[in-house]
Amino acid sequence: MERRNFLGWVTKIGGAAATAVVAGPAVVTTLSPALERREPRWASVGQVVEFPHGQVRNAIVEVPREDRARSLRHRGVFVLRSAEGELTVFSRTCTDLGCPVTWDPGSGWFFCPCHGGIFDREGTPRAGPPKRPLYRYATRIESGVLWIDLNSLPPMA
Amino acid sequence: MARKFRVWVADRFGWNPFRRNVLDRRVAKTPWYYGDGATLTFLLGVLVITGIAMTFTYTPSPDAAYESVRHITDRQRLGWFVRGLHYWSAGLMMVMLMWHVLRQILVAGYKFPREGTWLIGVVLFVLVTVMSFTGYVLRWDERAIHGMRVALQTFGRIPLIGEELVLLIQGDSQPGGRLLTRIFAVHVIVVPILIFLFVTWHVYLVILHGVTSKGERKHLTHTAEQQKREYKAQAKDEEKGETFYPDTVIQSGAMGLIVLGIAVVLVFVSGPGSLMPEANLVERSFPAEEWWWWWYSALIALLPEWIASWFIVVFPLAVLLGLIMLPLVDRGPERGMRKRPIVVALVCVIIVGIVGLSGLRLRSPWTGWPVAEALPLPAGLTLNADAERGRQLFARQGCASCHSVAGHGGRQVAVDLARLPELRSHAGLMQYIRQPPVGVAMPAYEGWATDEEIARLADYVLAAQTFPRQR
C-alpha cells in the first residue's frame, strides 16, 4: 500500500506538471489582450471649421488598427459644437446597453433603438433606462484638426 | 461463416456490453412528452451536421464573413436550406431547452439520485445559451455587431473585472477582426467540444439513474438507495416498464422527428434568418435581437430605474445559482406536483412571463425615432395654410419622432395629440413647446425653432387634437 500511495502521488504530480506546462502558456496567451496596457489611440475627426456653432454633426473616424480589416474600420461619432465654440465628441454607444444611438436633427435629441433611451443634445439622459450621460471622448485640437483618443473610453463604449 | 463473423465483430468491438446495458436495458414507461431530451440530442445532431457543412464556406474574417454567409445563402446549392435548418433548429433548441428544464422541475427530475444528472444539465444549459448567442454574431451583420456590443456592455458592468473581460472577449480595445475570430473559436470549436463531452456525461447518467417515472411520484422514498430499488422494480415490471430499444427509442424518436418536421416547414415558410446590412459602426441602425431573446429585451427595458443598473449582471447569475441550488435545497421526498405548489407556481410564472414579455416586445413602441415624412391627414379632412405648414414642421422638427396623432402615424413614446391630458390655448401651446415644464422629457424648442415655426406647430396641434381616432 505504501508503494501504491507513493506511485499515486508521482502520477498526480507528473500529470499536474505536464498540464501546467501546456495549459499555462495557452491560457496566458489567450488572456493577453486583457492584460496589456492600453496606450492612447488618437484618430482624426476632421477640420474644426467643418463643425458649425450650436449644432451636432455626424462624423466618421478611421480606427488605426493592426488587423487592417475593412469592416469596422470606421466608427461614427457625434460632434457637438456649442454656441460658444466648445467641441464635445460623443460615442454612439448608448450608456444603457450599448446599442447605437441615432441623432434626430429635427428634435435635436438622440434616440436609442433598443430599449427607449433618449438623450438631449448635451448627452444628458432624458427618458428610458439609461442613467449615465453619453460617453465623451478625450479630445485634442492640432493645427485646426480635431482628434479623439479612442482608448479614452471603456472598451465596450 | 457470416454468423461467425458477426460474433467476432460483436466481441472484438465491444458491442455486447453496449447491447446489454443500453439497448436491451429495462426502463420505466414514460409519457410522450418525455421525448424532449431525445429531441434535444436529435437537434444537436442536426446543428452539428448543418454547422459543419457551413464551415466549409464560412470565412471567419471581418472582411469576408458577411459575404461568405450571403454566398452560402444565395449562391451555394441548397445553401439556403442548410443555413435555414441550422437557424430554425437553433431556435427550436432554445424552445425545447426551456421545455426540458421546466418539465424536469415539474416532475422533480433534480431529486435524488439524479442531482448529478441535473447539474450536468445546468452546464449544458449555459453552453447552449452561449451557442444561441454566438451563432448569430457570426453572420456579421448589424444585428450581430450590435447584439455583441450589448453582451459586452453586460460583461462590462461586472464589478472589478468587467473591462478586462470585455478586452478578453473583444481581443482588442476596439471591436474588430479579433472579436469575430474569438466568437468563431467559441462557437465552432470550444463550446461544441464541451457540449459533446457534457451531453455524453448527461446521457451516461440518464442510463445509470434512469428518468423520472409515474410510480416514484406515488411511492415516496427517503434515500437514494430506496429510490433506485423503486425505479428498478418499475423497469422490470411487465406493465410499468419497457425495453429501451425499440420501445423508448420509437417514442422519443417520434418527437424528435416531429420537431425536425417543424424546422423544415419553417425553413420553407420563412427561410433562414434574415440578414441586416453588413456589420458596421457608422450607419444609422435599428437592430433587434433574435426572437428567442425578445422576453429578455422586454424585461430589461421595463425594469424600474433603481433596479436596472445591477439587474443585468445579477439576473443571469441568480438564474444560474438558482438552477445549481435547486437540488441542494429542495431535498424532500415529495415528487408529485400537488405536494410542491411553490415549484409549480414558479414554473407557471416563468412560462407566463416569457410569453407575456415576448408579446410586449412585439407590441411596444419602445423608443423615439426620426420620422421622415409628414404624418398623413385623416381621410376627408383639410387644414388651413397655417396648420398645414405646422403639419410639415411636425415631422421636420422631430415632433413625430415621439408623438403620434390620433393613430395616424408618428412614434408612440410620448402622448398622442388626440389624447392630450389638458387642452391649452394657442399661446399656452407655444409656451409649452418653447419651454416644456421641468421634468417633462421633451426638448425645449426655444432657440431651436423660430417663433414663427412654433406658432405654426401650435396651429397644427390645435387642429390635430380634434382628429378622429384610428384603431
Q: Which cell numbers in the block locate residue B48?
A: 452539428
Q: Is residue A141 part of a domain?
A: yes
pLDDT band at B403 (very low <50, low <70, confident <90, very high): very high
Site from B140, B173, B401 to mutate, A interface, most A CB atoms within 10 angstroms:
B173
Report CB contact under 8 Å: A154, B168. no
- Give yes or no: residues B184 and B58 share one domain: yes
Find cell 488605426 and name the residue: A64
Name the closest residue on chain A to residue B399, using Cα atoms: A107
Report CB contact under 8 Å: A69, B140. no
- Give yes or no: residues B427 and B306 share one domain: no
Instruction: Count structural domains, chain B.
Output: 2
- Give yes or no: residues A15 and A59 share one domain: no
Contact list, A106 vs chain B (CB under 8 Å): 370, 395-399, 401
Site from B140, B150, B367, B397 to mutate, A interface, most A CB atoms within 10 angstroms:
B367
- Give yes or no: residues B125 and B170 share one domain: yes
Q: Is A13 helix (H, G, I), strand (E, B) or coil?
A: helix
Report CB contact under 8 Å: B146, A92. no
Report CB contact under 8 Å: A111, B368. yes
Q: Does the pLDDT of residue B471 top 90, yes or no?
A: no
Q: How far apart are CA B145 and CA B65, in angstroms?
A: 12
- Give yes or no: residues B228 and B325 share one domain: yes
- Domain enclosing residue A118, as ranges: 42-152
Contact list, B149 vs chain A (CB under 8 Å): 93, 98-99, 156
Report CB contact under 8 Å: B174, A65. yes
- Contact in structure between B154 and A96 (CB atoms under 8 Å): no
Contact list, A118 vs chain B (CB under 8 Å): 367-368, 402, 413, 441
Q: Is B376 exposed, middle or buried, given 0-12, 13-18 or 19+ CB atoms closer than 10 A?
A: exposed
For B341, other C-beta atoms within 10 Å of its C-beta total 9
Name the closest residue on chain A to residue B62, using Cα atoms: A71
CATH number at residue B36: 1.20.810.10
Q: Is residue A77 part of a domain?
A: yes
Instruction: Choose among A99, A111, A129: nearest Cβ to B150.
Output: A99
How much is the average pLDDT of B139-143? 95
- Give yes or no: residues A76 and A147 share one domain: yes
Q: Does the pLDDT of residue B468 top 90, yes or no?
A: no
Q: How far apart are CA B225 and CA B205, in angstroms?
A: 16
Give per-residue pLDDT as tens, A50-91: 999 999 999 999 988 766 678 888 999 999 999 999 999 999
CATH number at residue B433: 1.10.760.10
pLDDT at B470: 66
- Give yes or no: residues B234 and B345 share one domain: yes
pLDDT band at B304 (very low <50, low <70, confident <90, very high): confident
Out of B132-136, B312-316, B377-381, B440-444, which region has the weakest mean confidence (pLDDT)?
Answer: B377-381
Q: Is residue B394 part of a domain?
A: yes
CA distance A3 to chain B (A): 33
pLDDT at A68: 66
- Give yes or no: residues A81 and A97 share one domain: yes
For B34, other C-beta atoms within 10 Å of its C-beta total 21
Count CB pairs under 8 A between chains A and B: 192
Give per-residue pLDDT as tens, A129-157: 888 999 999 999 999 999 999 999 999 99
pLDDT band at B122 (very low <50, low <70, confident <90, very high): very high
Find cell 421633451 and name the residue: B442
Taking each helix axis as running N to C, give the angle between helix B79-106 and helix B249-270, from 0 to 180 degrees, rounded to the nearest 10.
130
Q: Is residue B470 part of a domain?
A: no
- Contact in structure between B105 and B121 (CB atoms under 8 Å): no
Instruction: Choose among B171, B397, B398: nearest Cβ to A33.
Output: B171
- Give yes or no: residues A47 and A114 share one domain: yes
Instruction: Choose among A74, A126, A155: nearest Cβ to B166.
Output: A155
- Give yes or no: residues A17 and A72 share one domain: no
- Give yes or no: residues A68 and A123 share one domain: yes
Q: Per-residue b/e over B125-146, b at no fewer than 16 CB within 10 Å?
A: bbbbbbbbbbbbbbbbbbbbbb
User: pLDDT above 90 covers what percent of chain A?
Assistant: 79
CA distance B299 to chain A (A): 10
- Give yes or no: residues A46 and A80 share one domain: yes
Give per-residue pLDDT as tens, B11-59: 999 999 999 999 999 999 999 999 999 999 999 999 999 999 999 999 9
CA distance B24 to chain A (A): 38
- Give yes or no: residues A31 and A51 share one domain: no
Q: Does the pLDDT of residue B359 top 60, yes or no?
A: yes
Q: Is residue B380 part of a domain?
A: no
- Give yes or no: residues B393 and B281 share one domain: no
Q: Which A positions 2-21 lie with beta carbon below 8 A of chain B? A: none
Domain end point (choices B329, B363, B397): B363
The contacts found for B455-458 with CB under 8 angstroms, 24 or more apart, are: B455/B386, B455/B426, B455/B430, B456/B386, B456/B387, B456/B389, B456/B390, B456/B393, B457/B390, B457/B393, B457/B394, B457/B397, B457/B399, B457/B429, B457/B433, B458/B390, B458/B426, B458/B429, B458/B430, B458/B433
Q: How far apart are CA A90 and CA A152, in angstroms?
A: 12
Contact list, A132 vs chain B (CB under 8 Å): none
- Contact in structure between B168 and B303 (CB atoms under 8 Å): no
Q: What is the ipTM of this complex?
A: 0.92
- Give yes or no: residues B399 and B453 share one domain: yes
- Give yes or no: residues B150 and B46 share one domain: yes
CA distance A14 to chain B (A): 24
CATH number at residue A57: 2.102.10.10
- Give yes or no: residues B358 and B414 share one domain: no
pTM above 0.80, yes or no: yes
- Contact in structure between B62 and B278 (CB atoms under 8 Å): no
- Give yes or no: residues A82 and A125 share one domain: yes
Domain end point (choices B363, B397, B419): B363
Q: Is residue B469 part of a domain?
A: no
Q: Which A positions 46-105 lie with beta carbon below 8 A of chain B? A: 60, 63, 65, 67, 69-76, 92-93, 96-100, 102, 104-105
Show the 3-state SS of chain B: CHHHHHHHHHHHCCHHHHHHHHHCCEEECCCHHHHHHHHHHHHHHHHHHHHHHHHCCCCCCCCCHHHHHHHHHHHCCCHHHHHHHHHHHHHHHHHHHHHHHHHHHHCCCCCCCCHHHHHHHHHHHHHHHHHHHHHHHCCCEHHHHHHHHHHHHHHHCCCCCHHHHHHHHHCCCCCCHHHHHHHHHHHHHHHHHHHHHHHHHHHHHHHHHCCCCHHHHHCCCCCHHHHHHHHHHHHHCCCCEEEHHHHHHHHHHHHHHHHHHHHHHHHHHHCCCCCCCECCECCCCCCCCCHHHHHHHHHHHHCCHHHHHHHHHHHHHHHHHHHHHHHHHCCCCCCCCCCCHHHHHHHHHHHHHHHHHHHHHHHCCCCCCCCCCCCCCCCCCCCCHHHHHHHHHHHHCCCCCCCCCCCCCCCCCCCCHHHCCCCCCHHHHHHHHHCCCCCCCCCCCECCECHHHHHHHHHHHHHHCCCCCCC
Name the closest residue on chain A to residue B67, using Cα atoms: A71
The answer, for A138 touching chain B at a CB cutoff of 8 Å, is no
- Domain enclosing residue B444, as ranges: 385-464
Bridge partners of A110, per DSSP, are A103, A119
- Give yes or no: residues A63 and A129 share one domain: yes
CA distance B238 to chain A (A): 47
- How much is the mean pLDDT over chain B? 93
Out of A69-73, B75-79, B177-181, B265-269, which region has the weakest mean confidence (pLDDT)?
Answer: A69-73
- Give yes or no: residues B18 and B162 share one domain: yes
- Give yes or no: residues B174 and B320 share one domain: yes
Q: Is residue B377 part of a domain?
A: no
Find cell 422631430 and name the residue: B398
Phi and psi dihedrals of A68, rounded to 5? 55, 25
Q: Does the pLDDT of residue B64 top 90, yes or no?
A: yes
- Give yes or no: residues B299 and B405 share one domain: no
Instruction: Count structural domains, chain A.
Output: 2
Q: Does the pLDDT of residue B363 top 90, yes or no?
A: no
Q: Is residue A157 part of a domain?
A: no
Give per-residue pLDDT as tens, A93-130: 999 889 999 999 999 999 999 888 999 999 999 988 88
Report CB contact under 8 Å: B370, A102. yes
Q: Is residue A59 part of a domain?
A: yes
Q: Is residue B184 part of a domain?
A: yes
- Give yes or no: residues A83 and A139 share one domain: yes
Q: Which residue has the higher pLDDT, B304 or B116?
A: B116
Q: Is residue B412 part of a domain?
A: yes
Instruction: Choose among B146, B155, B396: nearest Cβ to A106.
Output: B396
Q: Is residue B471 part of a domain?
A: no
User: pLDDT above 90 covers what percent of chain B?
Assistant: 78
Give per-residue pLDDT as tens, B424-465: 999 999 999 999 999 899 999 998 999 999 999 999 999 998
Contact list, B159 vs chain A (CB under 8 Å): none
- Give yes or no: residues A82 and A60 share one domain: yes
